[in-house]
Amino acid sequence: MQALAATAPTAHQSAGELAILDAAVRLFSVHGYDGVSMRRIAEEAGVSKANIYHHFASKQALYFAIMRRSAEELTALLENLAEGKGSFEQRLQVFASAHLDHLFDNQARVRLVLREAFSGDEEKSRAVVEQMVGGLVNRLIAIFEAGQRAGLLRDDLDPGLCAHLLMGADLFYFQAHGLLQQIPEAGFARQPDRYSKQMIDVLLHGMLAQPAEGRVK
Amino acid sequence: MQALAATAPTAHQSAGELAILDAAVRLFSVHGYDGVSMRRIAEEAGVSKANIYHHFASKQALYFAIMRRSAEELTALLENLAEGKGSFEQRLQVFASAHLDHLFDNQARVRLVLREAFSGDEEKSRAVVEQMVGGLVNRLIAIFEAGQRAGLLRDDLDPGLCAHLLMGADLFYFQAHGLLQQIPEAGFARQPDRYSKQMIDVLLHGMLAQPAEGRVK
DNA sequence: AATAAAACTGACCGTACGGTCGGTCAGTTA
DNA sequence: TAACTGACCGACCGTACGGTCAGTTTTATT
């Protein structure tokens, strides 16, 4: 399969088309592209299979439409994520917390994009970077670089690696959330807020040149 | 689909059967269960499709056999991972580094298991925890708990959360490796050793009660 | 050399797949 | 009211799917 491509803006959509998109997002995010049939989508959307082909040229075209829409939505949400005010520490704290909320509030689309991003297909990874996370990552790196220039971040750390650790801590928690439920010792799996606080506390404590004293209670 | 079940020990295997298993591991790890046909597996293995059914009762049975074998292999490798000697810090450093090496040395099987673990299916997650990562996670948590009792680990941190952050840092790096190649600023994507060192340095620095002075050069 | 078990194959089966087609129908527009 | 359009459907097409089976070749044992 090809990677998703940038396409024309969204036109107005009929109720049926919206139902199709909604069902397809849900199904693709859980079962993947090959695990979902057009019949199943039509059934879940309450329309005929032929109707899907009236709105979308092919199964791939439907999938691309969903990826494009997801990319737009997630990009819009991510847009303001790195623009927080306040101190270096506060900005990172707010980012981590908001990022985690954002992931859980958009589970289906996030799963869809993660699947594409981590598929191992170079073309897909590039598309995800260019159209979605690239800008966010660069801005987050810029924050760390600025912090490093200001002497707030340890000067022996790679800012890109710091950004990776911060985003990764959120993303991995999101991914592993279901699995953590199966581990009795992982009580933090049921408290995303508490996780975010302790996680960012550990990272900042480990990254900052002069770690803050305010610790988690 | 059901979760993988514990089954009988491995018998001796013909060359054909090994070729089938090898091809199936490669294909399933890249394209997922639904993305691989029995014809394709037979083709890549250089045998007839019917021959697969001589060795395995069904596609699911083949998949389960692979998952069981992967679970055995990975468990064996993971077995000694948390048994290092030396100080608290040294043990964690060695663990993180060996864990990362282990992931990259067993890419296909790890991808296979991660797909199952993060599928969102409760039954699959439980199987992965019970048969594979459960023991390792508990031992890693025990290390952190011991470190906390000894006053080496900050007393305001959840040992389970610390274990999660450590394993997650490795696993997420492994997952995102392909994507990181698309980000010019992520030079650390090409230096797993350097990543492991800085990563563990940040985490230990953030977790330890009295952080070590020996930093990455 | 005889033989039985295991490994292996080509041809085939029923089904579900992605996709197409002719056509119905409600709602503009002229 | 006639022409036209977009939304929608049932029936159908060729293909690839998972799986079966009768029969052949290979291998190990006696």
CATH number for the domain spanning B21: value is 1.10.10.60
Are the C-beta atoms of residues B199 and B193 closer than 8 Å to each other? no
- Other C-beta atoms closer than 10 Å to the C-beta of A81 total 16
A118 to B176: CB separation less than 8 angstroms, yes or no: yes
Strand C bases, protein C-beta under 7 A: 6-11, 16-22
Report which residue type is found at B142. A
- Which nucleotide shows the minimum CA-to-C1' distance to residue B12? C6
Question: Are B45 and B89 part of one and the same domain?
Answer: no
The set of residues, in sequence order, having a beta carbon less than 8 Å from that of A88 and lying 6+ positions away, is A143, A146, A147, A150, A152, A153
A17 or A77, which is more confident? A17
Shared domain for B124 and B162, answered yes or no, is: yes
Whether A33 and A129 share a structural domain? no
Determine whether the distance from the CB of A59 to the nearest atom of strand D is below 7 Å: no
Most confident of the following: A132-146, B6-20, B73-87? A132-146
Q: How many domains does chain A have?
A: 2
The reply to whether A173 falls in a domain is yes
pLDDT at residue B170, rounded to an integer: 97
Residue owning tokens 């397809």: A24
Q: A208 - beta bridge partners?
A: A153
- For residue A107, what are the domain limits? 67-207
Length of chain A as a residue count: 217
**Has residue B96 got a pLDDT over 50?**
yes
Q: Is residue B2 part of a domain?
A: no
- Domain identity same for B93 and B161: yes
Q: Could you say which residues from 175 to 214 on chain B have a Cβ atom under 8 Å away from some Cβ of chain A?
A: 175-176, 178-183, 185-188, 195, 198-199, 201-207, 211
Q: Provide CB contacts within 8 A for B164, sequence distance 6+.
A: A173, A176, A180, A186, A188
The pLDDT value given to residue A11: 53
Does A129 lie in the same domain as A97? yes
Contacts with B186 from chain A: Cβ below 8 Å: 160-161, 164
The answer for A 24-63 residues in CB contact with B (under 8 A) is: 30-35
Determine the 3-state secondary structure of B216 from DSSP. coil
Question: Taking the alpha carbons of A89, A93, A98, A103 in that order, is the dihedral positive or negative?
Answer: positive
Closest residue, chain A, to B129 (C-alpha): A182
- The answer to whether residue A5 scores a pLDDT higher than 60 is no
Which of B171, B178, B217 has the CB atom closest to A120's CB atom? B178
Contact (CB<8Å) A204/B206: yes
Q: Which residues of A touch B170 (CB under 8 A)?
A: none
Residues A88 and A111 in one domain: yes
Query: Does residue B1 sit within a domain?
Result: no
> For A32, which of B32, B122, B165 is closest by C-beta distance?
B32
Is A122–B178 a contact, with Cβ atoms under 8 angstroms apart? yes
Q: Model confidence over B50-81: pLDDT tens digits?
A: 999 999 999 999 999 999 999 888 888 787 77
Distance between CA B36 and CA A182 in Å, rounded? 29
Shortest distance between the Cα of B12 and any Cα of chain A, in A, equals 33
Distance CA B80, CA B91 (A): 12
| Same domain, yes or no: B78 and B15 | no
Q: Do A176 and A203 have their domain in common?
A: yes
Q: Does B3 score more than 90 pLDDT?
A: no
Q: What is the pLDDT of residues A58-110, one digit of tens each?
A: 999 999 999 999 988 888 877 777 777 888 998 899 999 999 999 999 999 99
* Same domain, yes or no: A143 and A51: no
State the residue for tokens 């075209």: A61
* Partner residue opposite B160 with nearest CB, options A130, A158, A187: A187
CB of residue A15 closer than 7 A to nucleic acid strand D? yes
